[in-house]
Chain A
Amino acid sequence: MILAYAVLLGLLIVLLRAGLQQRTLQPPPLESVWIVFVAFVPQWFAFHNPSTGWLLSDQMAAAILVVTQVLLLFFAWRNRSLPGMWALGGGVALNLLVILANGGLMPVSPEVATRLLPEATHTWSIGERLWMTKDVVLPVEAMSLPWLADRFLLPEGLPLRSAFSLGDVFIAWGAFRLLWSTAEQNQTDDTPISLQPSGETQ
């Protein structure tokens, strides 16, 4: 959910900017949106819905994660001309790379897992999926590409606790950049109404 919060924060900033500068938001048309929906639904049942997430084996969860991330890469490629899409696709590619290199789940070290929830160290085991997340607990020395793993932690004192990867940073930046682009065209209320369809305005 931390990435969803980042998107909502980005949207708030974009709306503030558009309001202060009297800009009209002009969202770009997206190609093949259905791909994202098809990728999201199985992930929702596997990783976000407690009543179904616990039913899946680690292997099944890994398969869903890999297949859906490939779908997202395809979507990013289809929309590669849009601002931020290379960062979005690049972030997914980095995550997919480290996920594939570590057996199908995102690696997280026991140290990071302990720092996330110190009182719950008895609830996970090395080599197994961390609760209902997309992560598998692996010692750093047993990881492939450890610099791409979930190794960054939010600063102490924040109400949220989260570990995230370099790929997640790219994804957050790409999402913000894409939203930011909706207010980039300098249109004010004084701009004459174009008779051309939206998106083809000069």
Chain B
Amino acid sequence: MKFKMEQTLIDVTTMDRNRIRLIVLLITVLMFVLSGGAPVDDLTPPGW
């Protein structure tokens, strides 16, 4: 029983760590492409 609980804790911890890493990865990649890329796609001239 104790072993199962420890296994579950390890599983949850690993899952949470992966989830956090995925969120960090996504936000980082989004910030990277928005900063590193230079496309013209914001088509809003002044006064429009």
Among A16-37, those with CB < 8 Å from B are 24-30, 33, 36-37
Q: A28-B25, A54-B46, A117-B45 are in contact. Are A171 and B33 (CB under 8 A)?
A: yes
Q: With a CB–CB cut-off of 8 A, which chain B residues contact A36?
A: 28, 31-32, 35
Distance between Cα atoms of A2 and B38 in the complex (Å): 10
Q: Which residue of B22, B30, B38, B48 has the most chain A CB atoms within 10 A of its CB atom?
A: B38
- Does B38 contact A165, Cβ atoms closer than 8 Å? yes
Consensus secondary structure, chain A interface:
helix
Scan A30-58; emit 1 where CB is below 8 A from any B CB, else 0: 10010011011001100110100010000
Interface size range on A against B: 35 or more
Among A146-202, those with CB < 8 Å from B are 150, 160-165, 167-168, 171-172, 175, 178-179, 182, 193-195, 197-198
Q: With a CB–CB cut-off of 8 A, which chain B residues contact A132?
A: 42, 44
Question: How far apart are A124's CB and chain B's nearest CB, in angstroms?
Answer: 7
Distance between Cα atoms of A27 and B29 in the complex (Å): 12
- Does A179 contact B29, Cβ atoms closer than 8 Å? yes
Question: How far apart are B44's CB and chain A's nearest CB, in angstroms?
Answer: 6
Q: A7-B33, A40-B35, A72-B32 are in contact. Are A108 and B40 (CB under 8 A)?
A: yes
Q: A48-B42, A120-B45, A193-B14 are in contact. Are A69 and B33 (CB under 8 A)?
A: no
Starting from the known contacts A2-B39, A132-B44, A198-B14, 11 additional A-B residue pairs (CB-CB under 8 Å) come to A3-B39, A27-B24, A30-B25, A44-B34, A91-B36, A95-B38, A163-B39, A164-B38, A164-B39, A179-B29, A182-B25
10 A-B contacts (beta carbon < 8 Å): A30-B25, A30-B28, A43-B34, A50-B44, A99-B38, A123-B46, A124-B45, A165-B38, A179-B25, A193-B11
